[in-house]
Amino acid sequence: MSSASPLRVVVLISGSGSNLQALIDGQKAGELPIEIAAVISNRPGVKGLERATNAGIEAITLDHKGFASREAFDSALAQRIDGFEPQLVVLAGFMRILTPDFAQHYLGRMLNIHPSLLPKYQGLNTHQRALDAGDSEHGVTVHFVTAELDGGPAAIQAVVPVLKEDDASTLASRVQAQEHVIYPMAVKWFAEGTLRMHNNAAVLKGEPLPASGYQVRTNNV
Ligand code: GRF
């Protein structure tokens, strides 16, 4: 769809923004038909904001600490996002629990990346939890966001092996390398119109995906 206009995207971050960088790089390389209209962080001074500025993207800080309630923050955030009229909202390391209203407002047009093979290990410390459980495989999931925390339908999962000598940090880097592959993939599919959410399922090229989403397996260590 090279002749169509690029998909307008707003990216929400809280930290380093390496997934944001993967999207910027894909867009710059001409592989991703998107335009990142803005990057919004709920934490001031994070590296992801610098990455946005360096790429010429509007970088906005909306500090959640300045709001009296989760509802007040989410409502102000939605107002900022909607000012850019995005077709897709990408949560890239956005470390906030979302209110049901916020999730509902962007239903079917908001993606998140979570570092586990969902539905396993929703929430935090996923790498250590996979190690503690003695799992032989671990990974990462890109999913549509619903009101249920880390619970929306999966679009893509990348599976990586867990090695005997792994600690949480080596496992995290192996998973992160895959994050930077599958998040641009999912965003590309969405931009091309092949990935959608329908009846609470992720649908690829008109076919509902299995609960795990489209699976990418890698043996690279
Ligand atoms: C990633 O591990 C992602 O899976 C999780 O938060 C982290 C964000 O990393 N949701 P970065 O800010 O994109 O570098």
- Tell me: do 2 and 53 sit in the same domain: yes
Cβ–ligand 1 distance for 139 under 6 Å, the answer no
Element (H, E) at 126: helix 126-132
pLDDT band at 79 (very low <50, low <70, confident <90, very high): very high
Residue 221 has pLDDT above 70, yes or no: no
Residue-wise pLDDT for 205-219, tens only, equals 999 999 999 999 987
Give the position of tokens 């910027």.
Answer: 24
Q: What is the pLDDT of residues 104-159, one digit of tens each?
A: 999 999 999 999 999 999 999 999 999 999 999 999 999 999 998 888 999 999 99
**Are 53 and 86 members of one domain?**
yes
Count of other CB atoms within 10 angstroms of residue 116: 22
- Kindly name the residue from 64, 105, 114, 143 that is annotated as catalytic: 114
- 135 and 186 in a single domain? The answer is yes
The pLDDT > 70 percentage for the chain reads 98
- Tell me, using a 6 A CB cutoff, whether residue 92 lines ligand 1: yes
Kindly state whether residues 1 and 101 are assigned to the same domain. yes
* Angle, vertex CA 138, rays to CA 134 and CA 144, nearest 5: 135
* Cα–ligand 1 centroid distance for 141 (angstroms): 11
- CATH number (domain holding residue 9): 3.40.50.170
One domain, residues 16 and 89: yes
How much is the pTM? 0.96
Tally of structural domains, the chain: 2
Do 96 and 63 fall into the same domain? Answer: yes
Name the CA radius of gyration of the chain, rounded.
17
What is the span of the domain harbouring residue 77?
1-106
Is 114 noted as a catalytic residue in this protein?
yes
Q: Which residues have a Cβ under 8 Å from the Cβ of 42 and sit 6 or more positions away? A: 12, 14, 61, 62, 63, 64, 73, 77, 94, 95, 96
Query: What pLDDT score was predicted for residue 88?
Result: 98
Domain final position from 88, 106, 124:
106
